[in-house]
Protein backbone atom coordinates (compact mmCIF):
# COMPACT_ATOMS: atom_id res chain seq x y z
CA UNK A 1 0.00 0.00 0.00
CA UNK A 2 1.27 3.44 -0.80
CA UNK A 3 -0.55 5.20 2.02
CA UNK A 4 0.15 4.41 5.65
CA UNK A 5 -2.77 2.84 7.52
CA UNK A 6 -4.86 5.26 9.53
CA UNK A 7 -4.47 5.20 13.30
CA UNK A 8 -6.61 2.70 15.21
CA UNK A 9 -9.21 4.20 17.53
CA UNK A 10 -8.65 1.60 20.22
CA UNK A 11 -5.01 2.64 20.57
CA UNK A 12 -6.28 5.91 21.99
CA UNK A 13 -8.79 4.66 24.54
CA UNK A 14 -7.55 5.80 27.94
CA UNK A 15 -5.74 2.98 29.75
CA UNK A 16 -8.56 2.39 32.20
CA UNK A 17 -10.92 1.74 29.30
CA UNK A 18 -8.56 -0.38 27.25
CA UNK A 19 -9.31 -3.79 28.80
CA UNK A 20 -12.24 -4.82 26.63
CA UNK A 21 -12.17 -8.49 25.66
CA UNK A 22 -13.05 -7.62 22.10
CA UNK A 23 -10.84 -4.62 21.45
CA UNK A 24 -8.80 -3.64 24.48
CA UNK A 25 -5.10 -3.33 23.77
CA UNK A 26 -4.48 -4.18 27.45
CA UNK A 27 -6.52 -7.41 27.48
CA UNK A 28 -3.94 -10.10 26.83
CA UNK A 29 -6.64 -12.77 26.47
CA UNK A 30 -8.80 -10.73 24.13
CA UNK A 31 -9.30 -10.24 20.42
CA UNK A 32 -7.63 -6.81 20.19
CA UNK A 33 -9.75 -5.62 17.29
CA UNK A 34 -8.57 -2.39 15.65
CA UNK A 35 -10.91 0.09 13.98
CA UNK A 36 -9.60 2.56 11.39
CA UNK A 37 -11.09 5.05 8.98
CA UNK A 38 -11.03 4.28 5.29
CA UNK A 39 -12.65 7.33 3.76
CA UNK A 40 -16.12 7.65 5.23
CA UNK A 41 -16.23 4.06 6.35
CA UNK A 42 -14.40 2.33 9.15
CA UNK A 43 -12.78 -1.04 8.80
CA UNK A 44 -11.36 -3.73 11.07
CA UNK A 45 -10.01 -7.12 10.12
CA UNK A 46 -9.87 -10.29 12.14
CA UNK A 47 -8.97 -13.91 11.45
CA UNK A 48 -11.00 -16.24 13.67
CA UNK A 49 -9.13 -18.88 15.61
CA UNK A 50 -9.72 -22.57 14.78
CA UNK A 51 -12.03 -22.98 17.76
CA UNK A 52 -14.20 -19.90 17.00
CA UNK A 53 -16.77 -22.07 15.29
CA UNK A 54 -20.50 -22.73 15.34
CA UNK A 55 -20.03 -26.03 13.54
CA UNK A 56 -16.84 -27.21 11.85
CA UNK A 57 -16.02 -24.92 8.94
CA UNK A 58 -18.15 -21.96 10.01
CA UNK A 59 -17.53 -19.06 12.34
CA UNK A 60 -19.43 -18.75 15.61
CA UNK A 61 -22.20 -16.16 15.43
CA UNK A 62 -21.30 -14.88 18.88
CA UNK A 63 -17.86 -13.95 17.58
CA UNK A 64 -19.37 -12.18 14.57
CA UNK A 65 -21.64 -10.24 16.93
CA UNK A 66 -18.68 -9.43 19.17
CA UNK A 67 -16.58 -8.07 16.31
CA UNK A 68 -19.51 -5.94 15.18
CA UNK A 69 -20.09 -4.68 18.71
CA UNK A 70 -16.53 -3.48 19.26
CA UNK A 71 -16.16 -2.10 15.77
CA UNK A 72 -19.36 -0.10 16.19
CA UNK A 73 -18.13 1.39 19.47
CA UNK A 74 -14.85 2.25 17.76
CA UNK A 75 -16.74 3.84 14.90
CA UNK A 76 -18.78 5.91 17.34
CA UNK A 77 -15.58 7.09 18.99
CA UNK A 78 -13.96 7.91 15.66
CA UNK A 79 -17.08 9.81 14.62
CA UNK A 80 -16.98 11.77 17.86
CA UNK A 81 -13.45 12.85 17.03
CA UNK A 82 -14.46 14.01 13.57
CA UNK A 83 -17.51 15.81 14.93
CA UNK A 84 -15.18 17.73 17.24
CA UNK A 85 -12.83 18.60 14.41
CA UNK A 86 -10.18 16.15 15.55
CA UNK A 87 -8.64 13.15 13.90
CA UNK A 88 -8.12 9.83 15.62
CA UNK A 89 -5.00 10.14 17.75
CA UNK A 90 -5.26 13.88 18.32
CA UNK A 91 -6.25 13.05 21.88
CA UNK A 92 -7.87 10.32 23.95
CA UNK A 93 -10.73 8.58 22.18
CA UNK A 94 -14.24 8.73 23.61
CA UNK A 95 -15.49 5.50 25.11
CA UNK A 96 -18.95 4.38 24.15
CA UNK A 97 -20.96 1.38 25.27
CA UNK A 98 -23.61 -0.59 23.45
CA UNK A 99 -27.25 0.15 24.14
CA UNK A 100 -28.66 -2.03 21.35
CA UNK A 101 -27.17 -4.59 19.02
CA UNK A 102 -29.13 -5.91 16.05
CA UNK A 103 -27.46 -8.45 13.83
CA UNK A 104 -28.95 -10.21 10.82
CA UNK A 105 -27.00 -13.30 9.85
CA UNK A 106 -27.41 -13.53 6.09
CA UNK A 107 -25.44 -16.66 5.47
CA UNK A 108 -22.88 -18.80 7.27
CA UNK A 109 -19.48 -17.15 7.71
CA UNK A 110 -16.73 -19.49 6.49
CA UNK A 111 -13.82 -20.21 8.81
CA UNK A 112 -10.46 -19.51 7.26
CA UNK A 113 -10.52 -16.17 5.44
CA UNK A 114 -9.76 -12.88 7.14
CA UNK A 115 -13.06 -11.31 8.11
CA UNK A 116 -13.58 -7.68 7.22
CA UNK A 117 -15.84 -5.66 9.48
CA UNK A 118 -17.02 -2.34 8.08
CA UNK A 119 -18.91 0.50 9.69
CA UNK A 120 -20.67 3.66 8.66
CA UNK A 121 -22.16 6.43 10.77
CA UNK A 122 -25.93 6.54 10.43
CA UNK A 123 -26.95 9.06 13.08
CA UNK A 124 -25.20 11.03 15.76
CA UNK A 125 -26.57 13.13 18.61
CA UNK A 126 -25.27 13.96 22.06
CA UNK A 127 -27.30 11.08 23.47
CA UNK A 128 -26.66 8.34 20.98
CA UNK A 129 -24.73 7.28 17.92
CA UNK A 130 -26.18 4.78 15.44
CA UNK A 131 -23.72 2.76 13.40
CA UNK A 132 -24.39 0.43 10.48
CA UNK A 133 -21.92 -2.42 10.27
CA UNK A 134 -21.41 -5.49 8.13
CA UNK A 135 -19.07 -8.43 8.01
CA UNK A 136 -17.69 -10.03 4.88
CA UNK A 137 -15.47 -12.97 4.02
CA UNK A 138 -13.71 -12.94 0.67
CA UNK A 139 -16.03 -10.20 -0.52
CA UNK A 140 -19.27 -11.90 0.48
CA UNK A 141 -21.32 -10.13 3.13
CA UNK A 142 -22.42 -12.66 5.75
CA UNK A 143 -23.92 -10.40 8.43
CA UNK A 144 -25.41 -6.92 8.63
CA UNK A 145 -26.03 -4.97 11.79
CA UNK A 146 -27.27 -1.78 13.34
CA UNK A 147 -25.77 -0.79 16.66
CA UNK A 148 -26.76 1.98 19.06
CA UNK A 149 -23.86 3.40 21.05
CA UNK A 150 -24.17 5.68 24.05
CA UNK A 151 -21.49 7.49 26.02
CA UNK A 152 -20.19 5.30 28.80
CA UNK A 153 -22.18 5.91 31.99
CA UNK A 154 -20.19 7.57 34.73
CA UNK A 155 -20.67 4.56 37.01
CA UNK A 156 -18.60 2.37 34.72
CA UNK A 157 -15.56 4.57 35.03
CA UNK A 158 -13.53 3.16 37.88
CA UNK A 159 -10.98 5.91 38.01
CA UNK A 160 -12.64 9.19 37.24
CA UNK A 161 -10.94 10.58 40.28
CA UNK A 162 -7.59 9.24 39.12
CA UNK A 163 -7.13 11.77 36.39
CA UNK A 164 -8.39 9.81 33.42
CA UNK A 165 -10.08 12.03 30.89
CA UNK A 166 -13.26 10.44 29.64
CA UNK A 167 -14.69 12.55 26.84
CA UNK A 168 -18.43 12.19 26.65
CA UNK A 169 -18.83 10.29 29.88
CA UNK A 170 -20.57 13.12 31.63
CA UNK A 171 -23.29 13.41 29.06
CA UNK A 172 -26.77 12.05 29.52
CA UNK A 173 -27.15 8.36 28.93
CA UNK A 174 -30.18 6.31 28.04
CA UNK A 175 -29.15 3.72 30.56
CA UNK A 176 -30.32 3.49 34.10
CA UNK A 177 -27.83 4.22 36.78
CA UNK A 178 -25.53 1.23 36.88
CA UNK A 179 -24.70 -0.63 40.05
CA UNK A 180 -21.50 0.47 41.73
CA UNK A 181 -18.40 -1.12 40.27
CA UNK A 182 -17.01 -4.08 42.11
CA UNK A 183 -13.74 -3.53 43.81
CA UNK B 1 -32.49 -29.27 45.44
CA UNK B 2 -35.02 -32.02 45.79
CA UNK B 3 -35.60 -32.48 42.06
CA UNK B 4 -32.81 -33.52 39.73
CA UNK B 5 -31.85 -30.91 37.14
CA UNK B 6 -33.47 -31.35 33.75
CA UNK B 7 -31.29 -32.67 30.96
CA UNK B 8 -29.28 -30.10 29.01
CA UNK B 9 -30.22 -29.72 25.35
CA UNK B 10 -26.63 -29.34 24.24
CA UNK B 11 -25.75 -32.77 25.60
CA UNK B 12 -27.98 -34.19 22.86
CA UNK B 13 -26.69 -32.29 19.84
CA UNK B 14 -25.24 -34.86 17.43
CA UNK B 15 -21.46 -35.04 17.77
CA UNK B 16 -20.85 -33.26 14.46
CA UNK B 17 -22.86 -30.28 15.72
CA UNK B 18 -21.39 -30.17 19.19
CA UNK B 19 -18.33 -28.00 18.51
CA UNK B 20 -19.89 -24.59 19.00
CA UNK B 21 -17.64 -22.16 20.84
CA UNK B 22 -20.53 -21.03 22.98
CA UNK B 23 -22.22 -24.30 23.83
CA UNK B 24 -20.53 -27.27 22.20
CA UNK B 25 -19.63 -30.00 24.64
CA UNK B 26 -16.82 -31.01 22.25
CA UNK B 27 -15.21 -27.54 22.06
CA UNK B 28 -12.49 -27.65 24.69
CA UNK B 29 -11.78 -23.92 24.30
CA UNK B 30 -15.41 -22.88 24.48
CA UNK B 31 -17.94 -21.77 27.05
CA UNK B 32 -19.95 -25.02 27.14
CA UNK B 33 -23.24 -23.35 28.02
CA UNK B 34 -26.03 -25.72 29.06
CA UNK B 35 -29.71 -24.98 28.45
CA UNK B 36 -32.39 -26.72 30.52
CA UNK B 37 -36.12 -26.43 30.97
CA UNK B 38 -37.48 -24.97 34.18
CA UNK B 39 -41.22 -25.18 33.67
CA UNK B 40 -42.08 -23.19 30.57
CA UNK B 41 -38.84 -21.25 30.63
CA UNK B 42 -35.34 -22.37 29.85
CA UNK B 43 -32.34 -21.45 31.92
CA UNK B 44 -28.57 -21.52 31.61
CA UNK B 45 -26.00 -20.23 34.04
CA UNK B 46 -22.49 -18.98 33.39
CA UNK B 47 -19.80 -17.29 35.43
CA UNK B 48 -17.71 -14.99 33.23
CA UNK B 49 -13.97 -15.32 33.39
CA UNK B 50 -11.88 -12.45 34.79
CA UNK B 51 -10.94 -11.31 31.29
CA UNK B 52 -14.51 -11.33 29.91
CA UNK B 53 -14.82 -7.62 30.52
CA UNK B 54 -15.82 -4.46 28.70
CA UNK B 55 -14.11 -2.32 31.31
CA UNK B 56 -12.83 -3.51 34.68
CA UNK B 57 -15.75 -4.70 36.82
CA UNK B 58 -18.23 -5.18 34.01
CA UNK B 59 -18.93 -8.04 31.64
CA UNK B 60 -18.19 -7.73 27.93
CA UNK B 61 -21.35 -7.19 25.89
CA UNK B 62 -20.12 -9.58 23.24
CA UNK B 63 -20.12 -12.34 25.83
CA UNK B 64 -23.64 -11.43 26.96
CA UNK B 65 -24.77 -11.58 23.32
CA UNK B 66 -22.99 -14.90 22.85
CA UNK B 67 -24.67 -16.49 25.88
CA UNK B 68 -28.04 -15.26 24.64
CA UNK B 69 -27.35 -16.59 21.15
CA UNK B 70 -26.51 -20.13 22.24
CA UNK B 71 -29.25 -20.25 24.86
CA UNK B 72 -31.81 -19.18 22.28
CA UNK B 73 -30.70 -21.91 19.87
CA UNK B 74 -30.91 -24.40 22.72
CA UNK B 75 -34.37 -23.14 23.59
CA UNK B 76 -35.46 -23.55 19.97
CA UNK B 77 -34.16 -27.12 20.02
CA UNK B 78 -35.88 -27.89 23.31
CA UNK B 79 -39.11 -26.42 21.96
CA UNK B 80 -38.82 -28.58 18.85
CA UNK B 81 -38.65 -31.62 21.09
CA UNK B 82 -41.76 -30.61 22.99
CA UNK B 83 -43.62 -29.80 19.79
CA UNK B 84 -42.90 -33.34 18.63
CA UNK B 85 -44.10 -34.83 21.89
CA UNK B 86 -40.59 -35.65 23.07
CA UNK B 87 -38.60 -34.53 26.06
CA UNK B 88 -34.98 -33.38 25.89
CA UNK B 89 -32.86 -36.51 25.73
CA UNK B 90 -35.44 -38.74 24.10
CA UNK B 91 -33.36 -38.50 20.94
CA UNK B 92 -30.85 -36.23 19.22
CA UNK B 93 -31.65 -32.54 19.60
CA UNK B 94 -32.43 -30.41 16.55
CA UNK B 95 -29.72 -27.96 15.60
CA UNK B 96 -30.78 -24.42 14.85
CA UNK B 97 -28.76 -21.45 13.73
CA UNK B 98 -29.31 -17.77 14.34
CA UNK B 99 -30.98 -15.69 11.66
CA UNK B 100 -31.39 -12.54 13.76
CA UNK B 101 -30.10 -11.44 17.14
CA UNK B 102 -31.49 -8.36 18.85
CA UNK B 103 -30.08 -7.43 22.22
CA UNK B 104 -30.96 -4.41 24.33
CA UNK B 105 -28.39 -3.74 27.01
CA UNK B 106 -30.38 -2.25 29.88
CA UNK B 107 -27.56 -1.66 32.31
CA UNK B 108 -23.99 -2.77 32.80
CA UNK B 109 -23.60 -6.44 33.79
CA UNK B 110 -21.38 -6.74 36.86
CA UNK B 111 -18.44 -9.12 36.75
CA UNK B 112 -18.42 -11.63 39.57
CA UNK B 113 -21.89 -13.09 40.06
CA UNK B 114 -23.14 -16.10 38.17
CA UNK B 115 -25.16 -14.86 35.21
CA UNK B 116 -28.55 -16.40 34.64
CA UNK B 117 -29.77 -16.57 31.06
CA UNK B 118 -33.46 -17.29 30.63
CA UNK B 119 -35.50 -18.05 27.54
CA UNK B 120 -39.11 -18.36 26.54
CA UNK B 121 -40.68 -19.51 23.29
CA UNK B 122 -42.47 -16.66 21.55
CA UNK B 123 -43.35 -18.16 18.18
CA UNK B 124 -42.69 -21.41 16.40
CA UNK B 125 -43.31 -22.48 12.80
CA UNK B 126 -41.58 -24.91 10.49
CA UNK B 127 -39.50 -22.07 9.11
CA UNK B 128 -38.51 -20.18 12.20
CA UNK B 129 -38.57 -20.11 15.97
CA UNK B 130 -38.59 -16.83 17.89
CA UNK B 131 -37.17 -16.86 21.40
CA UNK B 132 -37.25 -14.16 24.03
CA UNK B 133 -34.24 -14.21 26.31
CA UNK B 134 -32.87 -12.15 29.14
CA UNK B 135 -29.79 -12.07 31.32
CA UNK B 136 -29.69 -11.26 34.99
CA UNK B 137 -27.05 -10.92 37.68
CA UNK B 138 -28.14 -11.29 41.29
CA UNK B 139 -31.76 -10.87 40.27
CA UNK B 140 -31.24 -7.73 38.21
CA UNK B 141 -32.01 -7.99 34.51
CA UNK B 142 -29.18 -6.39 32.55
CA UNK B 143 -30.06 -7.38 28.97
CA UNK B 144 -33.15 -8.43 27.04
CA UNK B 145 -33.18 -10.02 23.63
CA UNK B 146 -35.24 -11.47 20.84
CA UNK B 147 -33.62 -14.11 18.70
CA UNK B 148 -34.82 -15.73 15.48
CA UNK B 149 -33.67 -19.31 15.01
CA UNK B 150 -33.93 -21.30 11.80
CA UNK B 151 -33.15 -24.95 11.14
CA UNK B 152 -29.51 -25.39 10.23
CA UNK B 153 -29.09 -25.19 6.44
CA UNK B 154 -28.09 -28.47 4.86
CA UNK B 155 -24.83 -26.94 3.60
CA UNK B 156 -23.56 -26.49 7.14
CA UNK B 157 -23.80 -30.20 7.89
CA UNK B 158 -20.42 -31.68 7.13
CA UNK B 159 -21.37 -35.29 7.60
CA UNK B 160 -24.89 -35.78 6.42
CA UNK B 161 -23.70 -38.82 4.57
CA UNK B 162 -21.96 -40.17 7.65
CA UNK B 163 -25.11 -41.27 9.38
CA UNK B 164 -25.69 -38.25 11.61
CA UNK B 165 -29.36 -37.59 12.09
CA UNK B 166 -30.10 -33.91 11.80
CA UNK B 167 -33.74 -33.31 12.69
CA UNK B 168 -35.09 -30.27 10.96
CA UNK B 169 -32.11 -29.75 8.68
CA UNK B 170 -34.03 -30.66 5.57
CA UNK B 171 -36.70 -28.06 6.14
CA UNK B 172 -36.81 -24.77 4.32
CA UNK B 173 -34.49 -22.11 5.62
CA UNK B 174 -34.60 -18.37 5.32
CA UNK B 175 -30.93 -18.32 4.57
CA UNK B 176 -29.35 -18.36 1.18
CA UNK B 177 -27.46 -21.45 0.17
CA UNK B 178 -24.22 -21.33 2.12
CA UNK B 179 -20.84 -21.73 0.53
CA UNK B 180 -19.47 -25.27 0.64
CA UNK B 181 -17.81 -26.15 3.93
CA UNK B 182 -14.05 -25.86 4.04
CA UNK B 183 -12.22 -29.11 4.39
pLDDT at B1: 47
Q: For chain B, give the mean pLDDT.
A: 88
The span from the CA of B130 to the CA of B73, in Å, is 10
The minimum CA-CA distance between A156 and chain B, rounded to whole Å, is 7
pLDDT in tens, A28-67: 999 999 999 999 999 999 999 999 999 999 999 999 999 9
Helices marked H in A21-123 — which ranges?
61-83
- The pTM score is 0.86
Cβ pair A53:B155 closer than 8 A: no
**Nearest CB to A60: which of B16, B20, B157?**
B20
Within 13 Å, how many C-alpha atoms sit on residue B23's CB side? Answer: 31
pLDDT in tens, B136-169: 999 999 999 999 999 998 888 765 433 333 333 3
CB atoms within 10 A of CB B5: 11
**Nearest CB to B54: which of A57, A97, A107?**
A97
Cβ pair B21:A156 closer than 8 A: no
Chain A residues whose CB is inside 8 A of the B63 CB are 21, 62, 66
**Nearest CB to A62: which of B16, B65, B176?**
B65
**Which residue did the predictor score with more confidence, B176 or B105?**
B105
Question: Which candidate in A101, A106, A169 is best for mutational testing of the B interface (most B CBs within 10 A)?
Answer: A101
pLDDT at B14: 96
For residue B67, name the pLDDT band (cuts at 50, 70, 90): very high
ipTM strictly over 0.95? no
pLDDT at A118: 98
Chain B residues whose CB is inside 8 A of the A20 CB are 53-55, 60
Give the residue-averaged pLDDT of B168-175.
34
Chain A residues whose CB is inside 8 A of the B58 CB are 156, 178, 181
Burial class of residue B73 (count of CB atoms within 10 Å of its CB; 0-12, 13-18, 19+): buried
Question: Which candidate in B24, B48, B56, B109 is best for mutational testing of the A interface (most A CBs within 10 A)?
Answer: B56
**Nearest CB to B21: which of A19, A53, A110?**
A53
- Please, what are the domains in chain A? 9-157 (3.10.129.10)
Burial class of residue B49 (count of CB atoms within 10 Å of its CB; 0-12, 13-18, 19+): middle
Low-confidence residues in chain A, pLDDT < 70: 1-4, 158-183
pLDDT at B158: 63
B96 contacts: CB under 8 Å, gap ≥ 6: B73, B76, B77, B80, B129, B149, B150, B151, B152, B168
pLDDT at A157: 75
pLDDT at B115: 98
The minimum CA-CA distance between A135 and chain B, rounded to whole Å, is 14
Amino acid sequence: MSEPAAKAVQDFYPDDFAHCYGCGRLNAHGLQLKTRWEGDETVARFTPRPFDIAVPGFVYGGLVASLIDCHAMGTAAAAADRAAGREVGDGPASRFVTAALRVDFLEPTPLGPVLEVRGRLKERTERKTVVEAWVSAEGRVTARAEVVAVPMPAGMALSESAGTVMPGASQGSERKTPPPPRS
